[in-house]
Amino acid sequence: MPITRREFIQACSALSSGLLFSKLSWALSKPEYDFVFTRLSYESGNWEVDERMPANVLNSLIEYTSLRVDLTERVVPLADPAMLGAPFCYMAGHRLVQFSSEEKDNFKRYVENGGFVFVDDCNHDIDGMFAKSFERQMAELFGDEALQKIPNDHPLYSCFFEFDGPPRTSIELNGWGDDLVHNYLKAIEVNGRIAVLYSNKDLGCEWDYDFRNKRFLRVDNTKFAVNIVIYAMTA
C-alpha cells in the first residue's frame, strides 16, 4: 500500500533513530544521515555517466522531504564489500556489463539481503549493449524470469508523488535510442519488495542538469527520482 505524507514523516523519524532498518542485516555507514547517494563503479563498461544527476536528485530530496541528506555522492566499487552497507545504490552506463566474480557475489548478496539498486540504461535501447549484457547478468545471478515488467499501479508510482507509470523522458520523445517510449520499468523483487529497479528510459540523462535550472521547467522532472528513493528507504 502507498504511504501517506504523514506516514513518510513518521518513517523519517524512525530512520533517525535506526528503528526502520532493525529488520535488515546492514545499516547506514554514516548514521548522521538518513540518505547517502552511492554510485556503483564496475570493471567493465563506463559507469561514470550523468555526473550532475546525483546533486540534482539530492537537491530534490532536500526540497521535498525531511530526510537528512548527505550532499556528497559516494562512488564505491561493486567489488568492495563496503557497498553492502549502502541502503541505496545507483548503477548506469552505455557499454558492456560483465561482472567479475567479486562483483557478482556482492551484487547477489546485497540484493538478497535487503538492498536496493536503481539501474539505468543510458542508451535508451532495449537491444543495446548495456541492456543485453546487464539483463544477461541478472538472468545468470537470479534466473531467467527474475527481471519482470512492473505494473503501472505499483506502489513505486504513488509512494510520495502520484504517477500513472514511469514519466516519459525528453530523450524518448526526441527519438534517440530505439525510437520507443518505454511505458514500463522492470524489477527483480525479493520477498514482495523491489530490490533491483531497471530502466531503459535513460532517466539519469533526463536528470543530468544543474539543479538551479529547475526554475525553467514547467514541471520538475526529478520528482520521480524522489519516489524511487522514498520507495527504497521505506518499502
**6, pLDDT greater than 70:** no
Average pLDDT over residues 33-62: 94
Q: Is 197 helix (H, G, I), strand (E, B) or coil?
A: strand
Compute the mean pLDDT over every residue in the chain, rounded to the nearest whole number: 85
- Which strands form 38-41's sheet, in the order they lie side by side? 74-77, 38-41, 89-93, 117-121, 193-199, 186-190, 148-149
**22, pLDDT greater than 60:** no
Confidence of residue 138 (pLDDT cuts 50, 70, 90): very high
Spatial CA neighbour of 205 closest among 102, 51, 91, 80: 51
Spatial distance between the Cα atoms of 230 and 216, rounded to a whole number of angstroms: 25
Element (H, E) at 160: none
Q: Which three cell numbers stand for residue 134?
A: 546487464
Spatial CA neighbour of 198 closest among 124, 143, 144: 124
* Domain at 5-18+32-234: CATH code: 3.40.50.12140
Q: Which three cell numbers stand for residue 125?
A: 535501447
Spatial distance between the Cα atoms of 215 and 210, rounded to a whole number of angstroms: 11
Provide DSSP, 44-112. SS-----TTHHHHHHHHHHHH----B--SPEEEETTSGGGGG-S-EEEEESS-----HHHHHHHHHHHH
**Which pLDDT tens digit goes with each residue over 162-216?**
999 999 888 777 766 677 788 899 999 999 999 999 999 999 999 998 888 887 8
Number of H helices, E strands in the chain: 7, 7
Residue percentage of the chain with pLDDT more than 70: 85
User: Residues 110, 25: contact at Cβ < 8 Å?
Assistant: no
Spatial distance between the Cα atoms of 36 and 190, rounded to a whole number of angstroms: 22
- Output b/e per residue, 200-220; b: 16+ Cβ within 10 A: bbbbbbbbbbebeebeeeeeb
Average pLDDT over residues 116-121: 97
The pTM of this model reads: 0.84
